[in-house]
């Protein structure tokens, strides 16, 4: 779930120092501020800017406008739709294209494979293939990358579920393997998000049945990265706030990364 399946950096449900304790169900806090929820329209990050989401009349996400922590324009992401494809582009504040992806859909409306171009530190071209189980949950993701220096690489991630809940994954990179385990709460993943950086429900099939509260990644030769999640839910069980904390076993005295966010919704 930490891998950049899309260029989006945070989703409804947002990747990887000392080992942190498992969060209890009490860490999912009900909030009755809103009782009717349709579509998320704003995601505000503490000390890290804001996303404003726009939809078409079919309630399809068409644009994500980004601003930085000072409220200044920070680029956008745009989506267009056809019968079997979603096209995604991302630009920075200067209008430079950072990402372009064509996501081809299967008969269930989930991504079958993606053709992607990244333009961050250097150009890379990825083709990513997805395999689903009978419940339309991702069980295998294979990424084939080609870089501007003509080098190539292949990596894969396999996922294991139990009673609909994500319990583990195995990331196989060209030179190493990472094992990841997950802990889930009793609270349903109502927005059906698989990857924590994706705003479109069902884009990667059916997500974990319940919300993930803990993620532990073992990295050979390095250590353990542990991410814990806390959620605020409204009376309908949708996420209106989320905190997550990443700890590195090599730096047990301070957080590796921490983020808090609030999500507001609007009925269309």
Helix%, strand%, coil% for the chain, nearest 5: 0, 55, 40
pLDDT at residue 94, as a whole number: 95
Say what percent of the chain tops pLDDT 90: 62
Cβ contact 183:208 at 8 Å: no
pLDDT band at 120 (very low <50, low <70, confident <90, very high): confident
Identify the CA nearest to 11 among candidates 245, 199, 214: 199
pLDDT at residue 32, as a whole number: 38
pLDDT at residue 46, as a whole number: 87
pLDDT at residue 162, as a whole number: 98
Residue 55: which residues within 8 A CB-CB, separation 6 or more?
39, 61, 62, 268
197 or 156, which is more confident: 156
Cβ contact 157:147 at 8 Å: no
Residue 190: which residues within 8 A CB-CB, separation 6 or more?
236, 237, 238
Q: Mean of the pLDDT values across residues 45-50? A: 87
State the pTM of this model: 0.81
pLDDT at residue 38, as a whole number: 67
Enclosing H/E stretch for 61:
strand 61-67
100 or 1, which is more confident: 100
Collapsing DSSP to helix, strand or coil, 247 comes out as strand
Largest CA distance in the chain: 54
> Class of the 25-266 domain?
mainly beta
End-to-end CA distance of the chain: 30
- Would you say residue 178 has pLDDT above 60? yes
- pLDDT digits 0-9 by tens, 208-225: 999 999 999 999 999 999
């Amino acid at each position: 779930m930490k891998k950049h399946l899309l260029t989006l950096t945070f989703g409804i449900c947002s990747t990887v120092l000392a080992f942190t304790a498992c969060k209890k169900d009490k860490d999912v806090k009900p909030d009755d501020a809103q009782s009717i929820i349709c579509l998320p329209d704003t995601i505000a990050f503490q000390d890290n800017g804001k996303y404003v989401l726009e939809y078409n009349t079919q309630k399809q996400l068409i644009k994500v406008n980004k601003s930085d922590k000072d409220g200044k324009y920070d680029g956008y992401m745009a989506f267009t739709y056809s019968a079997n494809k979603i096209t995604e582009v991302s630009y920075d504040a200067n209008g430079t294209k950072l990402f372009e992806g064509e996501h081809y859909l299967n008969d269930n409306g989930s991504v079958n494979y993606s053709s992607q171009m990244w333009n961050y530190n250097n150009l890379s071209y990825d083709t990513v293939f997805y395999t689903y189980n009978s419940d339309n949950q991702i069980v295998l993701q294979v990424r084939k990358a080609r870089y501007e220096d003509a080098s190539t690489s292949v990596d894969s991630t396999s996922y294991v579920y139990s009673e609909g809940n994500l319990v583990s994954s195995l990331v196989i990179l060209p030179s190493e393997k990472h094992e990841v385990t997950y802990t889930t709460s009793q609270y349903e993943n109502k927005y059906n998000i698989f990857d924590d950086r994706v705003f479109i429900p069902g884009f990667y099939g059916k997500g974990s049945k319940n919300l993930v509260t803990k993620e532990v990644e073992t990295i050979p030769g390095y250590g353990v990265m542990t991410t814990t999640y806390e959620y605020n839910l409204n009376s309908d069980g949708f996420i209106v706030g989320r905190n997550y904390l990443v700890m590195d076993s090599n730096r047990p005295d301070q957080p590796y990364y921490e983020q808090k966010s609030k999500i507001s919704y609007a009925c269309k």
